[in-house]
Amino acid sequence: MFQSRTYNGLHRQELPAQKQLLFRLPPGLEIPGLRLATFGTKLSLTWGDGSSFSGETETPSREVEYVAQDGVITTGRAVRDISTDTALRSLVSKQLQEKPWGEGPALKLDIGHSGSLDSLQFVEDQSHAEELGPRDVEIEAMAWGLTSRDLDVALGHPDKRTEEFGSGCVGVMTRIGESHSNTIRIGDRVAMVSAGCMRKYARTNEAYVFKIPDSLSYEDATQLAFPGLTACHSILNVARVQENDMVLIHSAAMSTAAERQLLIDTVGLNADSIFDKNSPSLTQDVMRVTEEEGVDVLLDCSRDTLDTPLLCVRDGACLVSFGGRNGSVASKMGAEIMSSNLTFSSIDIMRLKPKVFGQLAQTTMQLLAEGKIQPPQLSPAFKISDIRKGFKKLLEDTIERVIVTAEQGDAVPQFVQNHRLWTFDGNSTYLVAGGSGGLGRAIIRWMADRGAKHLIVPSTSGATSEAAAQLVAELTSHGVNIVAPKCDVSIREDVTVMLEECSRTMPPIKGCFNAAMVLQDAIFQSNITFQQWELTICSKVDTSKNLHELLPKDLDFFILLSSLAGVVGQMASANYAGGCAYQDALAKHRRAKGQNALSLDIGWMSNIGIIAEKEAYSVRDSNNNTPDQAVDHAENARDTFQRSPDASERQQVVIRAIAA
């Protein structure tokens, strides 16, 4: 195969005017007198005994290579590997992907485009990698409550632009700060009150976390605990409602239940003493029952205006606002109301002092256990995969609250950059041929950063270059056992001796990179010498063949750094193209035998390797028509190696050129 590719690439690049046709037979099949020809749209194939084959295409054929396979004549095609392309792109930059909640990094909810609910997405939560404070705790959240405040954040309300999503969640304790108390332990089922907690791993001071009963599911705990906290604090601590008080609850219908039941079961109010805004004749009913005096307490947790409810308030009444209203409620009241004998309180349980919150949580959980906080009508619940629908429910139905629950398999939109997964066994040895070059040195550092402790880096000159010597000294100082023997990997005897010597002092070899390359550019039919041809061919063919035959058969990986030149040819590089085509064929051969192998056909890379280090190639780069690779940055290029195809996939991966 590699001979035909070399010949094909040579004529494409150096002799474009000469159309030479190639026809490959199945291995082991010989047909004397075989001739192939094309005439416009007709294809003709004849052989020595007079037999023939002919066919016709819709347009004049531009094909230059044909293959007989399973009784069918085929031509070559490069087909985009979408899954691999997506994987490579996600290593280079953030990509929007639908992925299970349980896969990938720690996530948090983020606004894609301010004002658009359809652009809500999850991004990587960088804070997850930070150390916990001495008294901080972290939970893996399983359910969250989202309110009208979160809707304002999503819609880009001016007052909420710097805020993050979430104010309360429930889940399992995963981490605890070093100075924590002994009241909560890892594995406990808990509820948390914390601004910005709409994330996979939420954290806050331990004072704002409390245990939930084992009898409650995560969803039920979210339904009950947070409305219960607000109801208890507003009624018992702030308004201090007494048994004979009259109370008006200004709220959406589904938000009145906790307050109403608490007022009846705990405070002892008669049901006739509690009013809510849903009464069609609210003002008349209140004034009639209170004998024209009005209510003693107005509990406000609605986004609606206060005009009508304020007409029902008596002199000296208490107004408590806790609905996350836009702006200040007090600033919206007229001067006449503000000058009256009225007590106004705006509460936010997230801002309570730790001691006050602790007492509140204890009271709330006790009342929950006694069944005195049990709203008969629950807030709508959505899976985290439908979180956008939850926000639209808040917007369209003007309800105060929805519940979001998460399971590991729920697919969510993640705008993330995939993490690099490869690690290397510190008790194994890895060989990098051509490791003294720019790309080879980058690979070696990449391996050392991921756990490799024993490295063999053979080269014809040893570690004599300044860059190679510096690399050896650097890694040695970090505890890496790196040896750089003088060895020409293209010579079988040299490789045999080197491997025998290294086996005496180093662990078994478990993986190999071949980055060896010698470029000797010359026009094939004009000025290339046999020595130039041989030097380049040996640097690719002989090195790969020797490593294939002499290294252990059960390697974890065998990666050959090849080139697109082996597929499409390259001007003045027929020798290099041939060597690269051989590497592609060798990878296919190894895979067919059940051995690990991957040939990476890399394009023009200007920031690393020979192009970056040799002036002649840098000059060519400035006039080169092939765009830089999307993986041109060294780290991203190296990390594409982490995806090795399984046995069912193609044997080579082409890193295609992508225009800027």
Sorted by where each begins, the domain ranges of the chain are 2-74, 97-211+380-416, 240-365, 429-654
Task: Quote the pLDDT of residue 95.
Answer: 80
pLDDT tens-digit map of 488-510: 999 999 999 999 999 999 999 99
Residue type, 619: V
- Residue 647's pLDDT is what? 40
Which CATH class, in words, describes the domain spanning 429-654?
Answer: alpha beta
Question: Domain 97-211+380-416: which CATH class?
Answer: alpha beta
Say how far apart CA 434 and CA 609 lie, in whole Å. 11
3-state secondary structure at position 609: coil
How far is 1 from 183, CA to CA, in rounded Å? 70
Confidence band, pLDDT 50/70/90 cuts, at residue 637: very low
Q: How far is the CA of 357 from the CAs of 138, 174, 232, 564, in angstroms?
A: 18, 22, 11, 65
Its sign, for the CA torsion 53, 56, 57, 62, is positive
What local confidence, expressed as pLDDT, does residue 632 receive?
Answer: 38
Give me the chain's average pLDDT, please.
79
Cα separation, 338 vs 336, in Å, equals 6
pLDDT at 52: 54
Percent of the chain residues past pLDDT 70, beyond the cut: 71
- SS3 string, 366-408, reads HHHHCCCCCCCCCCCEEEHHHHHHHHHHHHHHCCCEEEEECCC
- Specify the amino acid at residue 346: S
Q: pTM for the complete prediction?
A: 0.63
Q: Does the pLDDT at position 344 exceed 80? A: yes
If you compute the radius of gyration of the chain from its CA atoms, what whole number of angstroms results?
36
Q: Are 224 and 373 in contact (CB under 8 A)?
A: yes
CB 148 within 8 A of CB 323: yes
Identical topology for domains 240-365 and 429-654: yes
Residue 88 · residue 640 · CB < 8 Å: yes
Architecture of the domain made up of 240-365: 3-Layer(aba) Sandwich (3.40)
Nearest of 570, 578, 512 to residue 542 by alpha carbon: 578
Total count of residues recorded for the chain: 660
Residue 189, both tokens: 């089922």
CA atoms of 254 and 310, how far apart (whole Å): 21
Continuous H helices in 300-384:
307-310, 329-332, 335-338, 354-369
What's the rounded Cα separation, in Å, for the pair 466 and 463? 8
* Listed ranges 262-271, 366-375, 530-539; the one with the highest mean pLDDT: 530-539
The single-letter DSSP state of residue 239 is: S
Q: Which helix (H) or strand (E) holds 297?
A: strand 295-300
* Residue whose C-alpha is closest to residue 642's, from 79, 90, 82, 81: 90
When mean pLDDT is compared across 246-250, 316-320, 336-340, 621-625, the lowest value belongs to 621-625
Token pair, residue 347, equals 């509460």
Amino acid at position 9, single letter: G
Which is it for the CA torsion 256, 262, 267, 271, positive or negative?
A: positive
Give the integer Cα–Cα distance in Å for 119 and 454: 47
Rounded Cα gap, residues 71 and 99, in angstroms: 43
Reply yes or no on whether the pLDDT at 47 is more than 60. no
Q: Which of 275, 277, 267, 274 is nearest to 241 (CA)?
A: 267
Helix (H) or strand (E) holding 288: helix 282-289
Least confident of 34-43, 433-442, 576-585: 34-43
Residue 389's pLDDT is what?
95
Helices assigned H by DSSP within 398-460: 438-449
